[in-house]
Amino acid sequence: MLIWILLALVVAAYVYEDAKKRDLSNNKWAKTPGNWALGVFFLMIVFLPLYIMNRGPEKGDLRPVERFCGNCGARLTQVNGTCTVCGAKLITSHNQ
Ligand SMILES: [Zn+2]
């Protein structure tokens, strides 16, 4: 019996850490990592598949969009200011 409690603890801890990396605000089942961890701990057979199917993408997947200079086509390391290659003024979508 103890082994199952330990297993549930390990899986619940994993779900908790994993859920912290994800955006749960649109999740219809549970909106906090703690709720998911509790659910998995007490009802793993129900909550673990539910979590896997509904967890959504990791926040880390949202990478900044790459930008290129409209004048020379150089890849830009900054969003505002001037192009470091040709010196052209950079126009952002905000002030067009
Ligand atoms: Zn340029």
Name the residues around ion ligand 1, CB cutoff 5 A: 69, 71-72, 74, 83, 85-86, 88
The pLDDT value given to residue 96: 39
Helices (H), the chain: 2-20, 33-42, 44-54
> pLDDT tens for residues 48-92?
999 999 888 787 655 566 778 888 988 877 666 788 889 888 765
Helix (H) or strand (E) holding 75: strand 75-76
The pLDDT value given to residue 64: 62
The pLDDT value given to residue 95: 42
Query: pTM above the 0.85 mark?
Result: no
User: What mean pLDDT is predicted for residues 11-39?
Assistant: 91
Residue of 61 and 5 predicted with greater confidence: 5
